[in-house]
Structure 1
Amino acid sequence: MQQEYAIDDRDFRKIVELVMNTAGIVLSDRKRPFVQSRLGRRLRALGMTDFRQYCRLLEAPAGEAERSNLINAITTNHTSFFREPHHFSYLANAILPKLATSEAGQSRRLRIWSAGCSTGEEPYTIAMTLREHQSALRDWDVKILATDLDTNVVAHAAEGIYDSDRLGSVPPSYRERFVTELDEDRSRMNDEIRSLISFAPLNLLQKWPMQGPFDVIFCRNVVIYFDKPTQRKLFDRYADILKPTGSLFIGHSESLLNVTDRFDLVGRTIYRRVK
């Protein structure tokens, strides 16, 4: 029988503060059972007896690796291929044709960032969309950057192997072209789309190593975990690294209303930089 760990107010507050300062993620009191359950697995893995011992490790210089495990443990990674499909239709039918006839069309350069890529379904969906409409991007230099705070999901995404039952939302013609069945249970993304994507771990609140500029940024279902001041800073940074009329896609439950004035709404949870 697995040991159950109880977390008191003091230790919960320490973990809440550490998570906020490290990743900008806000954990309310109602998240206590979730935190207790997720981190209980870490205590068992470390052979610890209580959360007080765990907090001492997190605060110690030797706890850097465990602080990364902490963030991995409390982040939620729910995603799917072609989630919110209207985003990819807009990318294919509105953004790509416009880019082809704009100044970007002269440079033949396209840069897209999947910020908060989770296990990779989003950037692979972007890549499939681009390959399917490659006639508009013939001989272009196309790159997709895919990043996430959780180092475990980034490693999974880079591998490009998925349970075959997760591919139900991928159109059959796309599966035939872009996916190889490894066995009856697993499938792998083909090199044709893998070659477009670079995966890397990244904390959105820390310094960004890339310079940009990006034509498109997908940041969907990420900022719901941040407070308003953190959201304002993040969207301001997105505007800075986007091209002047670059596009930003956010999640279905998110909005830029009263957060930033640097974007105009042009579609359902689709924005264009204006400042």
Structure 2
Amino acid sequence: MKLAYTTADFDRISAFLHRSTGILLTKENDRMVYARLAARVIDLGLDSFAAYIDQALGPAAIEERDRLVSALTTNTTHFYRESYHFDFLETEVLPGLIQRARSGERIRIWSAGCSTGEEPYSLAMCLLNAFPDVGNHDLKILATDIDRDALARATAATYGANSIREIPKPFLDRFFDHVQTTEQYTPKPTVRSLVTYRQLNLIGDWPFRGLFDVIFCRNVAIYMDAETQEQIWTGFCGALHPGGHLFIGHSERMSQSLRSSFTAVGNTIYRREP
């Protein structure tokens, strides 16, 4: 079934997505928008994108707007993606955090834009490897994403071979249960218990009670315009303890205006200055 889909339809969807999430679509994304939403338009019994947009942007269509955002959000990830970040975390950052946790301090790590859970569970494995009794201390990982469908998959925590391909074999054996009949892998309860998932829009309010010691936000801001990126980097600056670390995506760059607040200490790794 061929649905009516015009440039005006794309522009309306693009404007909504940018306004509500900060994600910036370009004209090159118009076929992607059609491909990801066409089945939903048909399922609703509609014959045009214009009719779908009218319905999805209506005042009572909160769930449909969430579905639209989920359809247009990119969730490409796997365990230990950009592994040098996890190496730096374990060798350079965790020793100090572990010492502070053992002395009774509250330690918090934030995986912002956590997608389907591979990043926060990778962080949890790093913690357990370096700090086996972490569960006896006040050290937790908060994982947030705007995409409710991605968060549901993260909570279900069932992964195939593609997701686990970069997990070191000793970690896979130690931290995962393997369902051989389906070739699926699930993080063990000790891993999952360290992570709390919450839905959060990075361009909305951040209802946090305390500061973070580590923030991972990788390959999220790359989909946003410069003004929105600046807003997010500034927010992270205010959400980090002095001396805390921010990890961003390999193709992302810290805005020039915040260079005095952060010192580059590794490949797209920054330390928050006092």
What's 2:7 paired with?
9
What's 1:215 paired with?
213
What's 1:265 paired with?
264
- Alpha carbons of structure 1 residues 154 and 168: separation in structure 2 relative to 1, 3 Å: same
5 Å-filtered alignment, 1:1-275, equals: 3-101=1-99, 106-134=103-131, 139-184=136-181, 185-258=183-256, 260-261=258-259, 262-275=261-274
Q: Please tell me whether the aligned partners of residues 181 and 188 of structure 1 are also in contact (alpha carbons under 8 angstroms).
A: yes
Give, in whole Å, the separation in 1 of the partners of 2:54 and 2:162.
42
Aligned to 2:47, the other structure's residue is in SS state coil
Aligned to 2:25, the other structure's residue is in SS state coil
Say how many residue pairs are matched: 272
Give the stretch that moved more between structures: 50-59 or 136-145.
Answer: 136-145
Aligned to 1:107, the other structure's residue is in SS state coil
- Alpha carbons of structure 1 residues 104 and 175: separation in structure 2 relative to 1, 3 Å: closer
Q: Please tell me whether the aligned partners of residues 78 and 162 of structure 2 are also in contact (alpha carbons under 8 angstroms).
A: no
Give, in whole Å, the separation in 1 of the partners of 2:9 and 2:135.
56
Give, in whole Å, the separation in 2 of the partners of 1:59 and 1:177.
47
Q: Please tell me whether the aligned partners of residues 77 and 163 of structure 2 are also in contact (alpha carbons under 8 angstroms).
A: no
Give, in whole Å, the separation in 2 of the partners of 1:166 and 1:100.
28
For residues 177-207 of structure 1, what are the alpha-carbon distances to aligned partners after superposition, in whole Å with 9 as ceiling and x for unaligned? 1100123321211001101000111111111
For residues 96-121 of structure 1, what are the alpha-carbon distances to aligned partners after superposition, in whole Å with 9 as ceiling and x for unaligned? 123345x6663333210000111100
State the one-letter code of the partner of 2:89: L
Aligned to 2:159, the other structure's residue is in SS state strand
**CA RMSD of the aligned region, Å?**
1.8
Aligned to 1:212, the other structure's residue is in SS state coil
State the one-letter code of the partner of 1:59: L
Which structure 1 segments of 5+ residues have no match? Answer: none
Give, in whole Å, the separation in 2 of the partners of 1:181 and 1:247.
33
Q: Please tell me whether the aligned partners of residues 90 and 126 of structure 2 are also in contact (alpha carbons under 8 angstroms).
A: yes
Give, in whole Å, the separation in 2 of the partners of 1:232 and 1:107.
34
Task: Provide TM-score, normalisation by structure 1.
Answer: 0.93
Q: Please tell me whether the aligned partners of residues 98 and 131 of structure 2 are also in contact (alpha carbons under 8 angstroms).
A: no
Aligned to 1:221, the other structure's residue is in SS state coil
Give, in whole Å, the separation in 1 of the partners of 2:138 and 2:68.
38
Give, in whole Å, the separation in 2 of the partners of 1:236 and 1:192.
34
- Alpha carbons of structure 1 residues 138 and 178: separation in structure 2 relative to 1, 3 Å: closer
Q: Please tell me whether the aligned partners of residues 212 and 242 of structure 1 are also in contact (alpha carbons under 8 angstroms).
A: no
- Alpha carbons of structure 1 residues 125 and 150: separation in structure 2 relative to 1, 3 Å: same
Give, in whole Å, the separation in 1 of the partners of 2:120 and 2:245.
16
Q: Please tell me whether the aligned partners of residues 101 and 138 of structure 2 are also in contact (alpha carbons under 8 angstroms).
A: no
Q: Please tell me whether the aligned partners of residues 16 and 27 of structure 1 are also in contact (alpha carbons under 8 angstroms).
A: yes
The runs of 4+ residues in structure 1 deviating greater than 3 Å are 103-108, 135-139
Query: Quick one: percent identity of the two aligned structures?
Result: 40
